């Protein structure tokens, strides 16, 4: 497979995600149309039309039946993944910044942006309960914060949520107790948490932060296990499904990109050993910061989405496959 550079979005990418099997790639960007592609050849299958603003996040259920998107047009939409029609729309007062499905795909969580009077809100709704899926419907879990919740995802089946904040704070909530966080980690990151991703087996969590680091966390208690240092803000980080490797993507702030040469911008994705915290490889491709990245289930294919508007699907070469650490 050649490296594929997919130009289907008009603006900066905000999320790339493979479905569980890895044959489809779901992407969304700051334009209005999330897309789905064949991983194999990079052909675009179609887009989910209906949003009227930047789409900040997309997720797909384990069986690739439904998609959820969070948009700056103040809505979260649930789509039929295959047919592309919108099943539900949840409205809110402020832009929606992230969304995700639970392990079963029955629950959907999303976070909203804090704006003037409106606090940042994290909510969970049950797709099976039609009362929750209408405008003004009561959510099965809701909490609000004075600081922006940038990202949220289900970390323990359908029971627990992990939330990352703009202040660098990380918290875990049990769905049955929206009042109190069960775990908190305020020491690991100094600036905004940009991305949280689970390891494919579900035993670890990786957080990417603007403080130029990514951290491997214990999914059960949010304790820091490892920390990976980069020279630039990290926008996204993910864990290899097959080997003890993690990959970090990010780069110089979009605002400053015009002032820096490409080599100084650090737009490469950087691969670290998950346990020894050492960087051992980089791969180039984007000419702007990487906003989002994900590892394919095979462990040899990789998708990145950049500020430059491109999605890149790359396959690792022999050197990577043959590379081992002595221990």
* 133 lies in the binding site for another protein (CB under 8 A): no
When the beta carbons of 65 and 115 are compared against another protein, the nearer one is 65
| DSSP assignment of 186-229 | -SS-SS-EEEEEE-TTSSEEEEEETTSEEEEEETTT--EEEEEE
* 220 lies in the binding site for another protein (CB under 8 A): yes
When the beta carbons of 239 and 293 are compared against another protein, the nearer one is 239
Q: Which tokens go with 121? A: 């809100």
Give whole-number Cα distances, 182 to 162, 248, 252, 297, in Å: 10, 28, 35, 31
Parallel, antiparallel, or unpaired: how do β-strands 86-91 and 301-306 relate? unpaired
* 140 lies in the binding site for another protein (CB under 8 A): no
Number of Cα atoms under 13 Å in the Cβ half of residue 42: 18
Q: Whole-angstrom Cα distance, residue 316 to residue 319? A: 8
Q: Residue count at the site for another protein (CB under 8 A)?
A: 38
Q: Among 10, 46, 49, 63, which residue interacts with another protein (rule: CB under 8 A)?
A: 63
Stretch of residues binding another protein (CB under 8 A), selected from 88-96, 178-186, 260-268, 312-320: 260-268
When the beta carbons of 319 and 326 are compared against another protein, the nearer one is 326
- DSSP letter (8 states) at residue 115: B
Q: Rounded to a whole number, what is the largest CA-CA distance in the chain?
A: 58
Site string for another protein, 287-326 (x = CB under 8 A): --------------------------------------xx
Stretch of residues binding another protein (CB under 8 A), selected from 8-16, 181-189, 201-209, 301-309: 201-209
C-alpha of 153 from chain center: 9
Residue (of 199, 267, 265) closest to 237 by Cα position: 199
When the beta carbons of 103 and 320 are compared against another protein, the nearer one is 103
* 261 lies in the binding site for another protein (CB under 8 A): yes
Q: Among 186, 202, 242, 284, which residue interacts with another protein (rule: CB under 8 A)?
A: 202
Note whether 24 and 38 are within 8 A (CB).
Answer: yes
* 203 lies in the binding site for another protein (CB under 8 A): yes
Q: Whole-angstrom Cα distance, residue 276 to residue 256? A: 32
Q: How far is the CB of 279 from another protein (least distance, A)?
A: 10
Q: Which tokens go with 264? A: 């100084």
* 43 lies in the binding site for another protein (CB under 8 A): yes
When the beta carbons of 138 and 284 are compared against another protein, the nearer one is 284
* 258 lies in the binding site for another protein (CB under 8 A): no
Residues forming the site for another protein (CB under 8 A): 20-21, 38, 40-41, 43, 62-63, 103-106, 157-158, 201-204, 218-220, 225-226, 229, 231, 252, 256, 259-261, 263-264, 266, 275-276, 325-327
């Amino acid at each position: 497979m050649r490296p594929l550079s997919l130009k289907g979005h008009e603006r900066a990418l905000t999320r790339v995600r493979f479905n569980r099997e890895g044959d489809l790639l779901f992407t969304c960007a700051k334009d209005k149309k999330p897309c789905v592609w064949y991983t194999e050849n990079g052909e675009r299958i179609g887009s989910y039309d209906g949003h009227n603003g930047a789409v900040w996040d997309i997720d797909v259920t384990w069986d690739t039946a439904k998609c959820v998107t969070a948009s700056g047009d103040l809505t979260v939409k649930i789509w039929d993944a295959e047919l592309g029609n919108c099943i539900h729309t949840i409205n809110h007062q402020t832009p929606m910044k992230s969304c995700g499905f639970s392990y079963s795909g029955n629950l959907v969580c999303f976070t909203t942006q804090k704006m003037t009077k409106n606090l940042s809100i994290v909510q969970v709704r049950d797709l099976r309960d039609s009362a929750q899926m209408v405008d003004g419907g009561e959510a099965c879990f809701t909490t609000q914060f004075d600081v922006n919740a940038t990202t949220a995802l289900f970390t323990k089946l359908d029971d627990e949520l992990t939330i990352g904040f703009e202040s660098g704070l990380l918290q875990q909530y049990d769905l049955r107790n929206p009042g109190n966080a069960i775990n908190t980690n305020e020491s690991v990151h100094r600036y905004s948490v940009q991305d949280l991703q689970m390891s494919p087996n579900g035993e670890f969590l990786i957080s990417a932060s603007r403080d130029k680091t990514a951290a491997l966390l214990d999914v059960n208690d949010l304790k820091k296990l490892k920390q990976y240092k980069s020279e630039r803000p990290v926008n996204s980080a993910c864990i290899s499904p097959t080997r003890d490797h993690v990959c970090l993507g990010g780069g110089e702030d979009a605002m400053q990109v015009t002032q820096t040469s490409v080599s100084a911008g650090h737009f490469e994705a950087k691969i670290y050993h998950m346990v020894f915290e050492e960087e051992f490889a980089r791969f180039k491709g984007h000419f702007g910061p990487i906003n989002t990245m994900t590892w394919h289930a095979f462990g040899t294919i990789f998708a990145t989405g950049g500020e430059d508007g491109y999605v890149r699907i790359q396959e690792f070469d022999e050197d990577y496959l043959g590379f081992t650490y002595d221990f």
